[in-house]
Amino acid sequence: MSAKPTKPSVELVSDALGEFLKSPPAGTPAAVIEAFGMFRTQVGNPLSPQLFYEIVEQAPVAVSITDARADILYANPAFQRLTGYRLKDVLGKNESILSNKATPPEVYHELWYTITNKRSWSGTLVNRRKDGEAYLAELTISPVLDHAGNLTNFLGMHRDVSDEHRLQRESAHQMALIESVLDTAPVVVVLMDAEGQVLLDNQEYKKLLSDLKLGEPASLLLQALSEQAGLSLAQVRDGCQDFHNLEVRLDATGATGPRWYSCSGTWVAAPDVTASTYFDTAEGKPRNLLLLAHDTTQHRRETERARIQHLSATLAEQQRVSGMREALAAATYQIQKPLNLVNAAIGMISRTGGDNPLLPVLEQIGASAQQAFDSLNAALPEELPESRQTVNVNALLRELLDLATDALLAGGWW
C-alpha cells in the first residue's frame, strides 16, 4: 500500500484533473471531458484550484483519484456516500477494496489492459459497499498523464445503476412473460399500427404466415373483413369501435384448402413519447389495432360436412318418395283401366233391366277394385316442400360437386 498523499487534496484534485484535461486519453467519453472542461474554465478563464476542488467535492457523481497502482489518493463525498467508506478508511487503500466476486475475472483483465495502455475504459462492475451489500457500478476510468506522457494517476467516476438494472431486468422479464403467454395462446394475435404495419405477433401468426404463402396475414384478414363482413376499417378506427366474432374465409394455396377465422379487434392507445408531452399524463389516441383471429376451420368443416350429409339425406328421401309415387301411380293406373271396364259393364246391364245373375258379381268386383284404387291413392306420399333461401352461388356449386362427385365418377363424366 502507498503512503497517504503529501499534497493537499485541493492541489491534488486540481493538478490531476488539469493534466487529464490537457490530453484526455483515447476512449474517454465526451460527456466526461465536457463536464470537467466546464468545471475547469469559466468564460475562458481558469478557475482557482480551490473553486475547482469545491466543485468536484459537491459533484453528484462518485469521483476518486488514485496513483498508478490504483491506490486511492482522493475520494469525494459522493464516493463516500455511495460506498459507505469514510475518506480516512480508503486513503492509501487499493480500489480493489470495492471489488466483488460476482464480476468475472476477464472483465478486470480487460479493464487493466486498457487503462495501463493509457486508454480510458468504461463499463459496469459489481461492487461492494462497506457493509457488504453489492451494487452495480457504471464506471469510467481514465489515465492521467504528465507532460512527458508518463502515467501518473487514474481518474475514476462511477454511479450506482442497480435500480436501473433491476427495472430493466424486470421489464425484460415481463416482456418475456407476455411473449410466452402470446406464443402459447391458441389464437392468432397481432398488433398493428394505423398504417397496418405489424408491431407485435405470436407463433400462431407466424404459422399462418408460413401456411398461407399469400402475403402478410394481417393485411389479408383486414381485406377479408372489409369484403366479406362489410367492415370499414377507417370508420371503426375513427370511432374507436371494437368488433367481435366476424367470420371470414381465407383461401390458402396448396392442399390445405380454405380456412375460416373468427376475428375480433380492439383499438389500443399509443402514447405520444415526444419531449413536449413529458408532463402530459393523458392517454394517447387509440391508434393501434389488436387483432385476434380464432381458427374455426375445423368447426366450419364439420358444420359443412353435417350440412352436406343432411342435404344428401334430404335428396335421398326426395328420390325415395318420388320413386314411391311413381310406383303407386303406375299401380293405380293399372287398376283404373279394368275398374272403368267393370263400371261400364255394370251400367250396361243395369240399363237393360231384368234379373241378370252377373250384375251382383260385377258390382262386387267393382267395389273391391274401387276400394283398392282408393287405398292406393291414399297411400301416395305427399311431395316434400322446397324451402327457399338466399345462397352463395360459389358455395352452392361446391356443395353440388360434393354431392354429385360419386355419381359423376360412376358415370364416367370425370
Q: Which residues pair with 84 in a beta bridge?
A: none
C-alpha cell at 48: 482557482
pLDDT tens-place string over residues 313-363: 877 777 777 777 787 777 777 777 777 877 877 777 777 766 777 777 777
CATH class belonging to 9-162: alpha beta
pLDDT on residue 394: 62
Residues in contact with 129: Cβ distance below 8 Å, sequence separation at least 6, in sequence order = 82, 83, 84, 85, 135
Task: Give helix 393-410 / helix 297-352 axis angle, nearest 10°.
Answer: 70
Residues 335 and 346: their CA atoms lie apart, in Å, by: 17
Residues 225 and 133: their CA atoms lie apart, in Å, by: 58
Task: Look at the chain and count its residues.
Answer: 414
Residue with cell 465526451: 30
Task: Give helix 203-212 / helix 162-184 axis angle, nearest 10°.
Answer: 50
pLDDT on residue 101: 86
pLDDT on residue 5: 45
pLDDT on residue 117: 94
pLDDT tens-place string over residues 95-153: 999 998 899 999 999 999 999 999 999 999 999 999 999 999 999 999 998 888 899 99
End-to-end CA separation in angstroms for the chain: 99
Considering only CA atoms, which of 295, 311, 317 is closest in space to residue 395? 311
Residues 81 and 58: their CA atoms lie apart, in Å, by: 12
C-alpha cell at 227: 369484403
Residues 410 and 170: their CA atoms lie apart, in Å, by: 68
pLDDT on residue 285: 64
pLDDT, block means (10 residues), the chain with 414 residues: 53 78 76 64 56 82 93 94 94 93 93 94 95 94 89 92 93 86 87 84 87 81 88 74 88 71 86 71 71 89 81 78 78 77 78 73 78 76 62 62 64 59
pLDDT on residue 398: 64
pTM to 2 decimal places: 0.58
pLDDT on residue 1: 41
pLDDT on residue 42: 47
Task: Please say whether the dihedral angle defined by the alpha carbons of residues 236, 241, 247 and 251, taken in this order, is positive or negative.
Answer: positive
Residues 51 and 56: their CA atoms lie apart, in Å, by: 9
**What stretch of H or E contains 191?**
strand 188-192
Considering only CA atoms, which of 244, 254, 188, 175 is closest in space to residue 220? 188
- Tell me the CATH architecture of domain 185-272+283-295: 2-Layer Sandwich (3.30)
Work out the number of other CB atoms within 10 angstroms of the CB of residue 49: 17
